[in-house]
């Protein structure tokens, strides 16, 4: 009886365990919602993070990916990489501007347009997608209201006036390319293409409710759970033209955090960090050449220099500015060996101008700090002043080497025959000669040195013999 009872309990336990595991397995396979979060400026690290996260979602056969956006914009190259990965993703991607108070400006607007389903939380906004904000200064963008009267830009018949032409060819090319790109995304996802063009040409923005009314987004959701319940049953087209019906109700939600490589890239691709790495690397190598064998400056400098150059390769770098910086550093190094003031000042000017030109971009989060440039220039100025001060003190100090350093020293006669003999001076035994006759033990004074032979004379009476060594 006891054996039957034990067997029955064991069977019930196994059945209960299997019943609890099967739904979880099914949910992990068919109803897994992964979340990717973009907070802050969009750069190379963000693009790498999104790419890896979408690959993981495909490997795990996730039902949906929620791409949460809260960004002021970023680099155009990184934005296009993210959009290409979203369009090629076999897993549907929901663009979700959240939490309340967040925004998807500039590059974020393009990315939101590229997602399979676009959503926003209450109290959020998007727009302001002019090219000047996503990769470089583009002066001369057309004015959205040329008459400055606050009225709509329409003629007397109520028809839109012709848009003013950009002031230069480069601006026209960048603006038209951005318009064509965002319109193609809008047409692909069936969203408002006219407002998308307005966001590019006139930096237009919309609130969450305005975006829904203008057919810019598909829905408003207060939380990720509400979002998943709202999109349940919708049909979307993924890469390859496959139509997929979403089953996201009660899906298991899981966040994908950036890997260590993405976090490392986020650090070194900060323009200020890249700038510091370049400085540390350059001067580490210089110090190693000045003092061969120290090892540490060379090793640390080489690593920092390579990391800095790698970061520059990933950022929109102006190589003319980099060249000016290298010229400035070279001139400052020359100033340390051959102080002339002019070389040092020229190097300082070249370095500051190069630093100002180094990153040719006005994207949010990718601007070199003026404080850092000023601090580095101040350090270099201090270095030049220290070198010049050391030179001035060296010129005023007495000579400490050569024949001039020997003149006036006291010497003790060791032996003497007629006009020559040996003396002890400066801790060494020297041959000596003189016009007078001296006795061993007598203290004399060095008058000159000729071919390693000291010319000595009798010391003046006012000098105490106790000074002799």
Q: In this structure, is residue 155 part of a structural domain?
A: no
> According to the model, what pLDDT value does residue 25 have?
40
Last residue of a domain, one of 314, 329, 345: 314
Last residue of a domain, one of 397, 416, 432: 397
Regarding whether 330 and 186 lie in a shared domain, the answer is: no
Q: In this structure, is residue 5 part of a structural domain?
A: no
pLDDT in tens, the chain (469 residues): 445 445 544 555 544 445 444 444 434 445 799 999 999 888 888 999 999 999 999 999 999 999 999 998 888 888 999 999 999 999 999 999 999 999 998 889 999 999 999 999 999 999 888 875 444 433 333 343 444 334 444 444 444 444 445 456 777 788 888 899 999 999 999 999 999 999 998 889 999 999 999 999 999 999 999 999 999 989 998 887 888 899 888 889 999 988 888 888 888 888 888 888 888 888 788 777 767 777 788 888 889 888 888 888 877 778 888 888 888 878 877 776 676 777 878 888 888 888 888 876 666 666 778 888 888 878 777 766 676 566 666 666 665 555 666 777 888 888 888 888 898 887 788 888 888 888 888 888 888 888 778 888 887 764 444 444 4
- What's the CA gap between 277 and 306, in Å, rounded? 9
> According to the model, what pLDDT value does residue 379 have?
78
Regarding whether 291 and 369 lie in a shared domain, the answer is: no
Strand ranges of the sheet holding 103-105, from the earlier edge strand across to the other edge: 103-105, 125-127, 205-207
Regarding whether 194 and 181 lie in a shared domain, the answer is: yes
> According to the model, what pLDDT value does residue 212 have?
93
Residues with Cβ within 8 Å of residue 97, at least 6 apart in sequence = 68, 69, 70, 103, 104, 108, 112, 119, 120, 121, 124, 125, 126, 208
- Tokens for 117? 């389903």
> Which phi and psi (to 5°) does residue 355 adopt?
-65, -35
Q: In this structure, is residue 140 part of a structural domain?
A: yes
Domain containing 357 equals 316-397
> According to the model, what pLDDT value does residue 238 have?
86
Q: In this structure, is residue 410 part of a structural domain?
A: yes
Q: Is the dihedral of CA 166, 170, 174, 180 positive or negative?
A: positive
- What's the CA gap between 326 and 305, in Å, rounded? 12
pTM as predicted: 0.66
Nearest to 412 by CA among 422, 403, 404, 420: 422
Q: In this structure, is residue 97 part of a structural domain?
A: yes
Strand ranges of the sheet holding 219-220, from the earlier edge strand across to the other edge: 219-220, 117-120, 93-97, 64-70, 32-39, 252-255
- What's the CA gap between 144 and 267, in Å, rounded? 38
- What's the CA gap between 220 and 114, in Å, rounded? 17
Q: In this structure, is residue 125 part of a structural domain?
A: yes
Nearest to 161 by CA among 149, 179, 178: 149
Regarding whether 177 and 305 lie in a shared domain, the answer is: no
197 sits in which H/E element: helix 193-201
As for how many domains the chain has, the answer is: 4
Cβ atoms 216, 192 nearer than 8 A: yes
Nearest to 423 by CA among 399, 458, 398: 458
Residue 342: exposure state from Cβ atoms within 10 A (0-12, 13-18, ≥19): exposed
Cβ atoms 94, 125 nearer than 8 A: no
SS3 215: coil
Q: In this structure, is residue 45 part of a structural domain?
A: yes
Regarding whether 408 and 390 lie in a shared domain, the answer is: no
- What's the CA gap between 49 and 85, in Å, rounded? 11
Regarding whether 224 and 192 lie in a shared domain, the answer is: yes
Helix, strand, coil percent content, the chain, rounded in steps of 5: 50, 20, 30
Cβ atoms 67, 91 nearer than 8 A: no
Nearest to 36 by CA among 257, 247, 292: 257
Regarding whether 217 and 72 lie in a shared domain, the answer is: yes
Regarding whether 227 and 116 lie in a shared domain, the answer is: yes
> According to the model, what pLDDT value does residue 333 have?
72
> Which phi and psi (to 5°) does residue 125 adopt?
-150, 165
Regarding whether 335 and 304 lie in a shared domain, the answer is: no
* Beta pairing class for 125-127 and 205-207: antiparallel
Regarding whether 444 and 355 lie in a shared domain, the answer is: no
Regarding whether 134 and 246 lie in a shared domain, the answer is: yes
Regarding whether 102 and 45 lie in a shared domain, the answer is: yes
Nearest to 212 by CA among 230, 182, 192, 240: 192
Nearest to 261 by CA among 88, 45, 114, 4: 45
- What's the CA gap between 293 and 466, in Å, rounded? 44
- Considering only CA atoms, give the Rg of the chain: 38
Residues with Cβ within 8 Å of residue 292, at least 6 apart in sequence = none
- What's the CA gap between 275 and 373, in Å, rounded? 9
Cβ atoms 316, 76 nearer than 8 A: no
Q: In this structure, is residue 160 part of a structural domain?
A: no
Given the structure tokens 């495909």, which residue do they identify? 58
331 sits in which H/E element: helix 319-337
Nearest to 384 by CA among 354, 340, 353, 350: 340
What CATH code is carried by the domain that includes residue 86? 3.90.226.10
């Amino acid at each position: 009886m006891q054996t039957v009872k034990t067997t029955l309990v064991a069977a019930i336990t196994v059945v209960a365990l299997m019943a609890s595991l099967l739904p979880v397995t099914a949910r992990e396979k068919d109803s897994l919602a992964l979340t990717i979060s973009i907070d802050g400026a969009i750069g190379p690290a963000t693009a790498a993070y999104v790419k890896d996260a979408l690959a993981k979602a495909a490997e795990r056969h996730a039902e949906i990916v929620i791409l949460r956006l809260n960004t002021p914009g970023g680099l155009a190259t990184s934005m296009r990489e993210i959009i290409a990965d979203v369009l090629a993703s076999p897993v549907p991607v929901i663009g979700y501007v959240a939490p309340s108070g967040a925004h998807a400006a500039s590059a974020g607007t393009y990315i939101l347009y590229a997602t399979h389903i676009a959503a926003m939380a209450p109290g959020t906004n998007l727009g302001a997608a002019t090219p000047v904000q996503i990769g470089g200064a583009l002066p001369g963008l057309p004015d959205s209201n040329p008459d400055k009267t606050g009225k709509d830009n329409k003629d007397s018949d109520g028809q839109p006036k012709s848009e003013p032409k950009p002031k230069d060819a480069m601006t026209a090319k960048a603006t038209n390319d951005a318009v064509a790109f965002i319109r193609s995304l809008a047409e692909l996802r069936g969203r408002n293409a006219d407002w998308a063009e307005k966001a590019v040409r006139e930096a237009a923005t919309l609130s969450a409710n305005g975006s829904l009314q203008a057919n810019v987004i598909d829905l408003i959701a207060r939380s990720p759970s509400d979002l998943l319940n709202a999109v349940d049953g919708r049909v979307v087209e993924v890469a390859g033209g496959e139509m997929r019906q979403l089953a996201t109700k009660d899906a298991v939600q899981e966040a994908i955090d950036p890997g260590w490589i993405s976090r490392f890239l986020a650090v070194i691709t900060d323009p200020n960090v890249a700038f510091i790495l370049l400085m540390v690397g350059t001067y580490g190598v210089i110090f190693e050449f000045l003092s061969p064998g120290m090892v540490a400056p060379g090793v640390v400098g080489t690593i920092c220099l390579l990391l800095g150059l790698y970061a520059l390769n990933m950022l929109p770098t102006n190589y003319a500015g980099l060249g000016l910086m290298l010229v400035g550093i070279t001139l400052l190094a020359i100033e340390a060996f051959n102080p002339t003031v002019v070389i040092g000042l020229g190097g300082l000017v070249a370095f500051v101008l190069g630093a100002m030109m180094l990153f040719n971009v006005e994207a949010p989060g990718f601007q070199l700090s003026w404080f850092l440039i000023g601090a580095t220039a101040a350090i270099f100025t201090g270095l030049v002043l220290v070198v010049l001060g050391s030179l001035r003190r060296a010129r005023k100090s007495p000579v400490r080497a050569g024949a001039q350093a020997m003149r006036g020293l006291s010497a003790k006669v060791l032996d003497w025959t007629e006009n020559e003999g040996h003396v002890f001076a400066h801790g060494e035994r020297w041959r000596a000669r003189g016009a007078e006759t001296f006795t061993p033990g007598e203290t004399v004074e060095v008058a000159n040195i000729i071919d390693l032979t000291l010319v000595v004379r009798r010391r003046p009476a006012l000098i105490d013999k106790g000074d002799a060594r």
